[in-house]
Amino acid sequence: MTKKITLEDHLHEAQASFDAASNPRLVEIMRSALTHIYAFVEETKLTREEWAAGIEFLTAVGQKCDDVRQEFILLSDTLGVSMLVEMLNQMPSDVATDPTVFGPFHVPGAPELAMGSSIAPEGNNGEPLVFSGTVRDAKGAPLEGARLDVWQVAPNGLYDVQDPASPPMSYRGVFETGADGTFEIHATRPVDYEIPTDGPVGKMLRSTGRHAWRPAHTHFMVSCPGYKTLITHAFDADSPHLGRDAVFGVRESLIIDMNGGRATFNVVLDSLLPGVAP
C-alpha cells in the first residue's frame, strides 16, 4: 500500500525546501513562518473561498502602496504587530522611558531647530503648547548632545505629508540638548486623529466594527551616542481615545498633562551596554 502524506509530512517537506539557503536566520524565519501559517490554516479549517478572499485582501493592500502610502505597515500597525516588534526590540530597563510604535509619518531630514523654537508654522490655529523636559541616562545624569526628532499632526488632524495645502516639514523639527540635557520645544497641542481609512485596512476596520482613532500624541525619536535610540510618543491625558488606540500604542507612563499651554516630558535613555551608563 502506498504511504499517505499527512499534514505534518506536508509541512516538513515545505520547510525542508528552505534548508539549503546560505543564510541560517532566513532558514529559521521561513521554517517558523510555515509552522504558524500552516497551524492557522489547519486550526480555522480555512475554506478555499476564505483563502481566495485573503489573497484578494493582501493584493489590495499591496496595490494601495506607493511612495508615500505604506498600507502593509498600516496593516501591521492595526494588528498590533508593529507594537509587538517594538516591544521585543526596544525592551526598556525599569527606569528608561517606554517606547511605542514608530508609525508611517516620520520624515527623515526634518529641519534642525534652535532650542526654544517652534515646529508649528506661523499663523496656525492650534492651541499653543510648550514641551519641556530633560534627557537623562538611567542613573539620572543629564545627557548633552541628545537629538530629539519631533513630529506631530497639524491642528486639522493631518500630517504635512497627507495635506497638499501644508508647507513641507510643518510640525517637524530636530533639537539638540546642551550640557544640562534640557529641552524646550514650542508646538501646538496635538489632536486626536484617524489613521487613513481609504484603503483595504480601513475596510477591514469597518467590517470588523473597529474605529480608526489614535489618541492625541506627539512623536519623539531621541538618540544620543552610546545610548539606545528611543522611539516614543507623549500622549495627551485628556484624549478620549487613550483606552482604545487603533494601533495599541498607549503606555500609561507616556500620558502627560497638556493643559495650560505647558507639558513636561522627561526622557530616560538606556545605555547601549546593558547595565552600564557610559
Write out the residues near ligand BEZ by the rule CB under 6 A: 74, 77, 101, 103-105, 195, 214, 247
Task: Kindly tell me which of 38 and 248 has the beta carbon lying closer to ligand BEZ.
Answer: 248
Q: Which is nearer to Fe ion, 103 or 126 (CB)?
A: 103
Torsion of CA 67, 69, 75, 81, to 10 degrees: 60
Cβ closest to Fe ion, residue 103 vs residue 173? 103
Sign of the alpha-carbon torsion through 152, 156, 157, 159: negative
Q: Which DSSP string do the residues of 54-74 spell out, in sequence order? A: HHHHHHHHHHH--SS--HHHH
Task: Yes or no: say if 267 and 221 are a contact pair by the CB < 8 Å rule.
Answer: no
Q: Which stretch binds Fe ion (CB under 5 A): 18-26, 53-61, 99-107, 255-263?
A: 99-107
Shortest Cβ distance from residue 52 to ligand BEZ (Å)? Answer: 28
- Burial code (b: 16+ CB inside 10 Å, e: under 16) for 230-264 equals bbbbbbbeebebbeebbbbbbbeebbbebeeeebe
Shortest Cβ distance from residue 264 to Fe ion (Å)? Answer: 20
Q: Which is nearer to Fe ion, 77 or 137 (CB)?
A: 77
Q: Output the smallest distance, CB 138 to ligand BEZ, in A.
A: 26
Binding map of Fe ion across residues 38-67, x = CB under 5 A, - = no contact: ------------------------------
